[in-house]
Structure 1
């Protein structure tokens, strides 16, 4: 059955698109047009503009385009959405916002305290792992998908936990938690390892565990998150009973594919991230070889003197 039966609004989320366009216009006004009005403001770079626009485009693709609708039909697409949202959009968003704006935001004492606490490497890793694992626990996900307010709160909270996760890796704001060199590589590897159990459970379980992807009644209720009630009301006349009308893939295979996709996308992203970290670290070591050697010699002299 074609997806077009859900209607234009469900497929393309025009209101969400409008909100993102307004966000991009505000970004332009603050970083370019009105920049002189802000003390300490610096010119926005092409790199920051590129990352911000990319984050908004990807955000629309995963939460506003037909991919979002299909994510309510196929669990595998839902997991691909999660991977893109949490592992690409979040770091792109951090990089895309100029440091002077982050400094203005973090000048609010309460926000700064929250960031300083939840972006500590151990806490950020544990928080993201807990949120991701809890979100994909069958009873939790099924409940979340049946309530728009709950779904919104969980998605926003999970995204914020992803911001905290990536903050020590990609932020360059003075005074904020930052990792360097091997510590940064170790942090990224540990992050990959920590969500492996949750993905493994999804991959290796031998029965469908999500009611909202396997039960016709639960699935139809869950579709209310992205399909107008007026459209859903007419589905009973069409005899639509569940996601099997839109896909030939067995529910169990779809579920297992979801876990595999999450891990594969994560591994690919992390390989790129670790590669860039390593190259950046190697370049820094090469460019500052004399200074590093001098610091090492000073440390050895101090140790010798104390010895």
Structure 2
């Protein structure tokens, strides 16, 4: 059965397109036209604009394109959606917004204390792992999927925890913000990868379906109201997600594939960050050693010159 039966609104989220266009316009107004209203600012870099535009594109793809609809039909697509929303989007946003705007945001009254507490590495890494694990407890997951308000609130909190988890390794040397040494960043990234592994492992190795919103027809139909207008659903004769992919995957196979893909995408994203951090650490170490060697050689040369004069 084709996905087109759900209509243009469910497939392409035109309202979200409007929101993203609005956010993009505001971004360029603030970073270009209104930049001089800030006490400290710099011209917008091409790399920053590119990262921000990529963040908006990623946001639309994961929650506005047909991927969002598919995430309510296949658990595999849900996990792919979560991986890009929680692991990639925060990186793009942090790097896309200039440091002088972040400086104002993180030092704002009320925000400063939140950042000070929740971006501490130990707190940030455990908070994200806890929120991710809670989200995928079957009873909690099905409850969230059946209520628009719960789904919106919990997803926002989960994304916020992912953002705070990402901040210590990506933030742009903002005054007053904790700066982790490269070796600590490497340990931090590895810890992040390890701490969400148990939740993925439980999903991968479960021998039975865990989430009613992906195997029970009535529950699934109710969950579909999160992305498909009720008026559209009422006119369709649907019994379950298997109508769209008959024989493609079993419910358990879909569940296992989702857990595996989540880990693969996580390892790729964290692997790229780890490589960049390691490269920077290697560069800093060798640069400092070269400077030290140069200074020592200069001192030896000056001492030798003075001894020759005497």
Alignment TM-score, normalising by the size of structure 1: 0.93
Query: Which aligned segments of 4 or more residues in structure 1 are displaced greater than 4 angstroms?
Result: 290-295
1:240 aligns with 2:238: yes
List per-residue Cα deviations over 1:200-237 (Å, max 9, x = no partner). Answer: 000000000100000000000000000011101101xx
286-295 or 22-31, which moves further after superposition? 286-295
Tell me if the contact between 1:10 and 1:69 (Cα under 8 Å) persists in the aligned partners.
Answer: yes
List per-residue Cα deviations over 1:9-28 (Å, max 9, x = no partner). Answer: 00000001110110011000
Distance 1:179 1:100 in 2: 20
**Match of 1:176?**
177
Distance 1:39 1:111 in 2: 19
Tell me if the contact between 1:42 and 1:100 (Cα under 8 Å) persists in the aligned partners.
Answer: yes
Structure 1 unaligned residues grouped into runs of 5+? 296-307
Partner-residue secondary structure (3-state), 1:260: helix
**Match of 2:109?**
109
**Match of 1:220?**
221
Q: State the aligned residue count.
A: 293
Distance 1:60 1:292 in 2: 49
43-52 or 161-170, which moves further after superposition? 43-52
**Match of 1:23?**
23
Distance 1:251 1:292 in 2: 61
Residues 39 and 78 of structure 1: CA distance in aligned 2, closer, same or farther (over 3 Å): same
Distance 1:86 1:37 in 2: 32
57-66 or 39-48, which moves further after superposition? 39-48
**Match of 1:231?**
232
**Match of 2:7?**
7
Offset at 1:294? Answer: 9.9
Offset at 1:292? Answer: 6.0
List per-residue Cα deviations over 1:68-90 (Å, max 9, x = no partner). Answer: 00000000000000101111001
**Match of 2:80?**
80
Offset at 1:99? Answer: 0.9
Offset at 1:286? Answer: 2.3
Distance 1:61 1:118 in 2: 28
Partner-residue secondary structure (3-state), 1:7: helix
Tell me if the contact between 1:167 and 1:177 (Cα under 8 Å) persists in the aligned partners.
Answer: no
**Match of 2:306?**
none
Taking the TM superposition and a 5 Å limit, the aligned residue runs for 1:206-285 are 206-235=207-236, 239-247=237-245, 248-285=248-285
Alignment TM-score, normalising by the size of structure 2: 0.92
Query: Aligned-residue CA RMSD in angstroms?
Result: 1.5
Offset at 1:177? Answer: 1.9
Offset at 1:128? Answer: 0.1
Partner-residue secondary structure (3-state), 2:110: helix
Offset at 1:109? Answer: 2.4
Structure 2 unaligned residues grouped into runs of 5+? 296-310
Offset at 1:293? Answer: 6.9
Distance 2:155 2:241 in 1: 22
